[in-house]
Amino acid sequence: MSGHPEAALATPYFVIDEQQLLVNLQRIDALRQRSGAKVVLALKCFSTWGVFDVMRPYLDGTTSSSVYEAHLGYETFGGETHAYCVGFSAQDVEAVDSIADKIIFNSLSQYHAHAPRLRHCQEIGLRINPEVSYAKQTLADPARPHSRLGVRKANLTPDLVNNLHGVMFHFNCENRDVEAFLRLLDHISTEFATVLAQVRWVSLGGGVLFTADGYPWERLADALKAFALRHQVQVYLEPGEAVITQTTDLVVSVVDIQPGQPSIAIVDSATEAHRLDTLIFHEPASVREAQAGAAHDYIIGASSCLAGDEFCRTQFNQALEVGQRLHILDSGGYTMVKLNWFNGLRMPSIYFRRLGGQLKLLNKFDYTDFKRMLTSHAIETHAPPAPQGST
């Protein structure tokens, strides 16, 4: 990496690549134009607002899962601001009422408690659980048994639906299968036809990886257009991963080599602190420098004290060395929004690689950020009182 502009950067750090980001955004815009659907960024996946100026021309706004996300979208992205939360408090609803274009409630109790209090937002929606979904793991399945996400069809009364402006169905997670999506869309179109006939807009959520290479996005676009025409609704999509996929590397350095079969390379990062979904969903990371099946076999281990904290097991053409840099690929989604200070590990800086190759620093962190995370000032202490009877 001699002479590379990144060579002097201290690891770990994230680097977001503008060129690949634009590839994704242009695919999203093509789908918007062909389908008529509107697309809002899911901030729960990616909230690095330093690159929103690049993203803004290709998207229609943002959607949120909390008051803070709603405010971030409103202040830094613009366009439409959709406010959704699994559990709004009265204070939350008051806070988003004046900034949200749409407020979507998760349950009947939330709707009945808070919708009458709205004074500014004119578009009220409800999340519906269609009781079908595409998700590889139960942890991320919105239709899992005893799901708390959305209202079931049996609880939708005509009077309730008549007072709604829109509905949201979120029923996918990492879905790369267009046929599976079309089957689910047909289910919703049929089973909820009477509901769809009474609303103006429908959000179909996120979790569809339609920007992946080879994905037949034209079929998806045509299906969305047909759905919108059939039910006379404005369709919204809420992608997160699809926007940011393949744009971002987490760059780490090897700090120790433990020989064995396989050998273990310890890097200056951790899945629990910097790439949490690798740990939660047991999906191994990919390393740019690796070559599957090559002679040198390694576990890429974290610097945390958690025994099972590993990025992946993979192979290399050459033996790794202390000080060598590795690029953990596709580390943009659900990473920066989940960063934490576990073990007090150094927090990755965040860079943006512009089209010309120059790097722009978006944020960096140091010990003072770690120190003030839980305490901004110490409590005052006083000498304990002397025991009774003492002199």
Instruction: Say which residues have a Cβ less than 8 Å from residue 184's Cβ, sequence separation at least 6.
Output: 130, 132, 133, 134, 171, 172
Q: What is the pLDDT of residue 201?
A: 98
Query: Does any domain span residue 180?
Result: yes
Q: Which residue, among 195, 103, 105, 191, has the nearest Cα to 148 in the 3D structure?
A: 105
Q: Is residue 8 part of a domain?
A: no
Residue 312's CB is within 10 A of a number of other CB atoms, namely 17
CATH number of the domain bearing residue 232 = 3.20.20.10
Write down the pLDDT at residue 256: 98
Residues 155 and 225 occupy one common structural domain: yes
pLDDT for residue 391: 52
**Is the residue at 25 inside a domain?**
no
Both tokens of 39, joined, read 């697309």
* Secondary element (H or E) of residue 251: strand 248-258
The pLDDT assigned to 1 comes to: 35
Strands 124-127 and 166-168, bridge-based pairing:
parallel
Within a domain: 295: yes
- Cβ-based burial of 123 (10 A; exposed 0-12, middle 13-18, buried ≥19): middle
From 244, 273, 294, give the residue that closes a domain: 244
pLDDT tens digits, the chain, 391 residues: what are they?
334 578 899 999 999 999 999 999 999 999 999 999 999 999 999 999 999 999 999 999 999 999 999 999 999 999 999 999 999 999 999 999 999 999 999 999 999 999 999 999 999 999 999 999 999 899 999 999 999 999 999 999 999 999 999 999 999 999 999 999 999 999 999 999 999 999 999 999 999 999 999 999 999 999 999 999 999 999 999 999 999 999 999 999 999 999 999 999 999 999 999 999 999 999 899 999 999 999 999 999 999 999 999 999 999 999 999 999 999 999 999 999 999 999 999 999 999 999 999 999 999 999 999 999 999 888 887 777 777 765 5
133 in helix, strand or coil? coil
Helix (H) or strand (E) holding 281: helix 276-281
Most distant CA pair in the chain, distance: 90
* 226, 290: one domain: no
Task: Judge whether 167 and 197 are in contact, CB under 8 Å.
Answer: no
358 and 261 both lie in a single domain: yes
Query: 111 exposed, middle or buried (CB, 10 Å; 0-12, 13-18, 19+)?
Result: buried
Which pLDDT score is estimated for 2? Answer: 39
26 near 257, Cβ under 8 Å?
no
Are 224 and 272 members of one domain?
A: no
Q: Is 136 a member of any domain? A: yes
Q: Residue 298 corresponds to which tokens in the numbers above?
A: 């390694």
Would residue 203 count as lying in a domain? yes
pTM for the model stands at: 0.94
- CATH code of the domain in which 297 resides: 2.40.37.10
State whether 144 and 70 are in the same domain: yes
Cα–Cα dist 32/40, whole Å: 11
- Counting the structural domains of the chain, the total is 2
Residue 169 sits in the same domain as residue 274: no
Whether the Cβ atoms of residue 139 and residue 281 lie closer than 8 Å to each other: yes
Asked whether residue 150 falls in the same domain as residue 95, the answer is yes
Q: 140 is in which domain, residue-wise?
A: 36-244
* Residue after which a domain boundary falls, among 217, 244, 271: 244
**Cis ω for the linkage preceding 259 (within 30 of 0):** no
171, 92: one domain: yes
**265 plus 195 within the same structural domain:** no
Q: Give, as one character, the DSSP assignment of residue 256.
A: E
The answer on 184 and 276 residing in a single domain is no
In a domain, 3, yes or no: no
Q: Can you spell out the DSSP letters for 298-313?
A: EEEE-SSS-TT-EEEE
Last residue of a domain, one of 195, 221, 244: 244
In this structure, is residue 212 part of a structural domain?
Answer: yes
Same domain? 228 vs 297: no
Strands 80-84 and 124-127: unpaired
How far apart CA 269 and CA 274 sit, in angstroms, is 7
**Residue 359 pLDDT:** 96
Whether 74 and 215 share a structural domain: yes
Closest listed residue to residue 126, CA positions, set 110, 113, 141: 110
Q: How far apart are CA 61 and CA 77, in angstroms?
A: 7
Cα 133 to Cα 106, 130, 218, 342, 373: the distances in Å are 17, 8, 22, 33, 38
